[in-house]
Chain A
Amino acid sequence: MDIFLQQTVNALALGGTYALLALGLAVVFSIMGLINFAHGELMTIAGYVLMYCGIAGVSFVVAVPLALMASVIAAVLMERIAFRPVRNGSGATMLVTSFAVAMILQVLFQNLISTRSQPVLLPAMLSDSVHIAGMVIGVNKLAAIVATIVMLVFLDWFMKHQKTGIAMRAAAEDFAVARLMGIRANTVIAGAFALSGLLAGVAAVLWVSQRASVDPLMGFMPVLKAFIAAILGGLGSLRGAVAGGFLLGFIEIYLSAFLPPEMQEFREPIGLGIVVLVLLFRPNGLIPSATLKAEKV
């Protein structure tokens, strides 16, 4: 039972990180029908900022906001430079563009920084653990859960009560009519990218806190997982992205904890098998987007 609870905490921490990443993908997808595979590189950028801050002796408390700022700026620039020119292109055009952006950034990291994994200096406190109700919980896990909750509450408030957030929901539902109301297409799309950059930045801080290292390809795997989570939850649906992220986190952690040792090699395929099984029963995901039309500007 103790092990089960312990693993549940781990699952919440990992699932929360997936949920934040999947949300970042979903926010952009719901508005412009683009699945941004360069989302992972936003994470990597935030990771490198943490690394350089560590080298320069900048305190972690300052490094985190700097890393978030960097991924937000990178996301907005990405939209402005790479995605705005192909905004009216087909979904496939935008998808290929996002792969190109991802690869260009990976090559830049490899050539300008290093091909190898670089250590990131983290505050010692993060690798401590606390005792709660007989469980030993890593501070980094706890921080991940708290950060996820804070971000989800913030995002919910933003989308429900801020004019820009409401406009994003309106644009996701009917872009043409949203523009008729005077909602500027560029503002909404840039806003969606900024939000996705923030979510990628927070996810990067949580990801790096568990591994204490960053490499040029760091963003690829988590974003692939987030993409699976977004589909599991219902592509384009924000609530779905959160549900899908947590479910995927739970599947992965429980399989690695409770699958017999001789089956461990098959952990990933079994996990994906479960995802496929869920999709067989709910083809549009756990919480499908009610209004997805993916209209573009």
Chain B
Amino acid sequence: MQPLLSAHDLHVSYGAVKAVRGVNFEIRQGEIVAFLGANGAGKSSIMNAITGLVPTSSGQVTFEGRDITGAAPETLAPSGLTLSPEGRRVFGTLSVADNLRMGAFALNDKAALETAYKRVYDLFPILQERKDQYAGTLSGGQQQMLAVGRALMSNPRVLLLDEPSLGLAPLIVDQIFDLILKLRDQGVTLLVVEQNVAKTLQVADRAYVLVNGAVVEQGKPAELTASGTMQDAYLGAN
């Protein structure tokens, strides 16, 4: 089966600093795939390169058979791929409902828009209660729900989640991981970057382990736990 999203020999540099060095990956329809690795391993850089937020220095990203390397970020959400960025980055001075409206910016059809709102409000009833409130006044957990909800408004086939549980209370963290499974059941393919390794390995189908911008191992969670690469990746023994 052709992968939904894939990268071939992806390189990302910030000036002289090479953040991603020749990464290859393939994500298939319906999978939950995780990128794991210590801080600075290049996880977020890969996410940002896929979505065009940082330029790729070389290599290729393919989505649904189409080359999207260097595509303008604004073209991706309408084509079915979107990112819920690290640090949530909701529009604090916009109301909750307006944040969601922006998530579906390309959508003009009233009925489709209503369906999108309903889906998000069904997943996160609290957002409906707070829909007229400024997003900046929400709690961290609610802002994370809003960030994911905003991304879902464009009805993505692939959703990239960058550190969705960072800085959240343990109870909320559990909700976020439940949500990841729920979204997969709704047919969304997910690529997750997470610092909560244990929980991520519980929900992921496959994971890539990154060290210094390169993939050192990939496989099913059980295989990765058994091989010991994980410990090396986080403790820096490589």
Contacts and interface: CB of A to CB of B under 8 A. Distances in A.
Interface string B72-105: 1111111000110100010111100011011101
A169 B134 CA distance: 13
B19 to A, nearest CB: 17
A176 B74 CA distance: 9
Contacts of B94: 166, 169-170, 173
Nearest to B135: A173
Contacts of B21: none
Contact of B92 (A173, A180, A185): A173
Given A182-B78, A185-B72, A167 B89 contact: no
A166 B92 CA distance: 12
A170 B134 CA distance: 12
Interface residues of A, number: 19
A96 interface: no
Q: Chain A binding site: helix, strand, loop or mixed by DSSP?
A: helix
B106 interface: yes
Nearest to A179: B73
A180 B76 contact: yes
A179 B51 CA distance: 10
B206 interface: no
B43 interface: no
Interface string B92-124: 111000110111011000000000000000000
A291 B136 CA distance: 10
Given A166-B102, A180-B83, A181-B102, A174 B91 contact: yes
Q: Bin chain B's interface residue count.
A: 20 to 34
Contacts of B154: 181-182
B150 interface: yes
B53 interface: yes
Contacts of A176: 53, 73, 85
A163 B93 contact: no
Contacts of B85: 176-177, 180
Contacts, number: 71
A169 B136 CA distance: 14
A170 to B, nearest CB: 5
Given A182-B77, A182-B154, A177 B103 contact: no
A180 B106 contact: no
Interface string A264-297: 0000000000000000000000000011000000
A184 interface: yes
A181 B99 CA distance: 10
A178 interface: yes
Interface in A119-168: 163, 166-167
Nearest to A178: B102
A255 interface: no
B74 A185 contact: yes
Interface in B161-200: none
Contacts of B101: 163, 166
Nearest to B103: A181
A183 B74 CA distance: 6
Interface string A175-201: 011111111110000000000000000
A180 B93 contact: no
Contacts of A290: 92-93, 136
Given A166-B98, A166-B101, A183-B102, A173 B74 contact: no
A18 B102 CA distance: 32
A183 B99 CA distance: 12
Contacts of B92: 173, 290-291
A139 to B, nearest CB: 39
Contacts of B136: 290
B73 to A, nearest CB: 4
Contacts of A174: 89, 91
Contacts of A166: 94, 98, 101-102
A170 B102 contact: yes
A178 B103 CA distance: 8
A13 B51 CA distance: 48
Contact of A167 (B53, B83, B102): B102
19 contacts: A166-B101, A169-B91, A169-B94, A170-B99, A173-B94, A174-B89, A174-B91, A176-B53, A179-B74, A181-B102, A181-B105, A181-B154, A182-B74, A182-B106, A183-B105, A184-B72, A185-B72, A185-B74, A290-B136
Q: Which 10 A-B pairs have the closest CB atoms?
A: A182-B77, A179-B73, A182-B105, A182-B106, A179-B74, A170-B91, A184-B74, A177-B89, A181-B102, A183-B105
